[in-house]
Structure 1
Amino acid sequence: MSQLPWLQPALQQFRQQQQAGRLAHALLLPLTVGDGGLLLAEQFVALTLCEQHSACGMCRSCKLLQAGNHPDVHWLKADGNQIKVEQVRELCQSLTATAQQGGYRVAVIEQSERMNTAAANALLKTLEEPGRNTLLILQTDISSSLLPTITSRCQRVAAPTPTAAQVQQWLAPQTLTDDVLAWALPVLGGALALRDALQSDRFAELAKLKDAIEQSFISGHVDPQLADIKEDSIFDALSLSYRVLLQQMRAGNKDAFVMSAIAALAERIMRDSQQLRRMPTVNYLALIQSYVLDYNRLKN
């Protein structure tokens, strides 16, 4: 945690609220997994359950937590692409039991934006009446996708996304240009994900895919690398396509009509990306071809 400076203000705020006895019963943590959202949630859990309120690592609660079998901690994540109503109901039922260690009962919902409508509605009663010494932490990658009825019942944690300068300093001695950071951070999902990608082949593969997308938009023909795109790469391709179009818009070297059309195409790509996660089968090549053709029609 000390090596991730952008997490420190939120951690300090939590400690102050805990020490003052003003800890909320439900926290909305709007920081992506790739930027350390789950690491921060884990630290909140450790501070809440520690007998010394310091994540000491030595007390019984800390040792149970480190072993991964603390009976008063409940972690919930998506089953497939969604968090389903049955999962939330089971979680809510678990939180009604008395804390076995005599302290808090804590629940963490990872990527809580994945709750379907029924699951979100099933959580409302527990958010309204959580019971004594109960803490719910809703980590989210996309807070705007949560129902207003959920967010209004949570205290929002001030955990801003790290700036490009913070990421650059943290990655040192790696040196990446601002232009690279502008596309790599959002496509990969955050600073931690970027670090991991740089330590493997993933970053180079994404850079190659981005080049293929740019060449496709320039030439009007789908690059051979995209001709046989698979399901495990389609979301990278869509995200990169969106970023390439954003770069075109920022360049500002086209008339207003074309800029508006590019913006509409970029919006369509992101909308398609969201819908694809719920579709069993799609002709991915045809989808990419449609973007390239539409871009060239508006460009010419």
Structure 2
Amino acid sequence: MDNRLFEEQKAVIERLCSSYRNGRIGHAYMFDGAQGTGKEAAALFFAKLLLCEEPQKNTVPCETCRSCRRVTSGNHPNVTIIRPDGQDIKKDQMSELIVKMTRKGYETGRKIYIVSRADRMNIAAANTLLKFLEEPEGDVTAILLTDSYQSILPTIQSRCQRISFLPPSREMMIKKIVEKGVTVSMAATVTMVTADPDEAFRLAGDDQFAHMRKTVLKLVEASDLHVHEALLFIQSEWSPLFKEKEEAERGLDLLLYAYRDIVASKAGLQATPTFPDQQQFFSSLSMKMTYSRLSANMEAILQAKKQLHGNMNRMLLMEQLVLSMQEGLLVV
């Protein structure tokens, strides 16, 4: 990952090193980029640099001092990583973090906290963090990681320096995965889900992911079915497979990508589709739907994703989504 980080996110690394070299360390950063682009690796690199006892050429961490080794092993007392507890990051986690960051540390030097999947903070957790960001105490640096920048509270966004991570070339990723024996269609799908080539290859060989892919495509086909059959499909096939919130979110993402393919087919665009094996079906479906209805369907999926992180019953959410999409089948 370290080598890939320097190769694929050179601009990010140079920016972080420049901030350190010039003594302009921000109190809060937002690392924004697709899953698999190396955000956490970059955050740990920056943490090492800020705490390193003998930085090389005043630019990169030495990787060999006691401080660097402890960051690598996850045992440095001045570095804290917060991850979702279940589906969300909760208020108690943020409160405990702030207590830790504000009390006198066992070691001198800057304190660094990394919030993984910062978009998963519930409202109470986000508001608790916001108060701390507004009035930081001492040498403390926050690094928030997200692949859904728009889901972060604007008030938190405005208090962080945003650093965007570029995804690797999708075409190159597809080529490398296909060379390992994966079909072009599956390679095209998994490279939309993650920008990490290793994770993409793992997903390509995952039977459950293959089942998810097949079920999502069946839901697209369900727009041709009677509404009662479509609702029965949600109850009998979709809900048992997409039980957890994260699985449901992935299913909705794949569904959104399918409709993007349909729009691209209707518009005659040449972009690499997510489902190359479905292009004939998508082409025929695109002729039955107007641009306005396709747009409405995609907006309905995006709204369903937002509601997913609330307390709404997931089966009811999907049933409402299907009813909404059923209305979009129009002859043009």
Range of TM-score over shorter length: 0.7 to 0.9
2:304 is aligned, of 247, 272, 288, to: 272
RMSD: 3.2
Corresponding residue of 2:323: 290
Q: Amino acid of the residue matched to residue 311 of structure 2?
A: M
Change (3 A) 1:290 1:259: same
| Letter aligned with residue 52 of structure 1 | E
Give the TM-score of the pair, scaled to structure 1.
Answer: 0.83
- Taking a change above 3 Å as real, the CA distance of residues 80 and 299 of structure 1, as seen in their structure-2 partners, is farther
Greater displacement, 22-31 / 84-93: 84-93
C-alpha distance after superposition, 1:42-94 (max 9, x if no partner) = 22222222212333332111222233221111111222332222222221221
Shift in CA distance, 288/113, structure 1 to aligned 2, threshold 3 Å: closer
Match of 2:195 in 1: 190
Gaps of 5+ in 1: none
Q: Does 1:66 align with 2:99?
A: no
Q: In 2 relative to 1, CA 33–294 (structure 1 residues): closer, same or farther, beyond 3 Å?
A: same
Correspondence for 1:241 among 234, 240, 255: 255
CA distance in 2, matches of 1:202, 1:49: 42
1-structure distance, mates of 2:29, 2:15: 12
CA 1:203–1:85 in 2, change beyond 3 Å: closer, same or farther? closer
Greater relative CO, 1 or 2 (CA 8 Å, sep 6+)? 1
Residues 204 and 224 of structure 1: is their aligned pair in 2 closer, same or farther, counting only changes over 3 Å?
A: farther
Is 234-243 or 106-115 further displaced after alignment?
234-243
Structure 1 CA distance for aligned equivalents of residues 219 and 117 of structure 2: 29
* Contact 1:49/1:61, CA 8 A, preserved across alignment: yes
What's the TM-score once normalised by structure 2's chain length? 0.76
Q: Which moved more, 1:78-87 or 1:168-177?
A: 168-177
Distance 1:281 1:248 in 2: 28
Distance 1:147 1:11 in 2: 26
Match of 2:153 in 1: 147
TM-fit CA distance, 1:16: 1.9
What does residue 3 of structure 2 align with? 2
Q: Give the match for residue 275 of structure 2.
A: none
C-alpha contact 2:91 2:125 (8 A) present in aligned 1: yes
Percent identity among equivalent residues?
Answer: 26
Question: Which consecutive residues of structure 2, in runs of 5 or more, have no partner in the other structure?
Answer: 268-285
Partner amino acid for 1:268? Answer: A
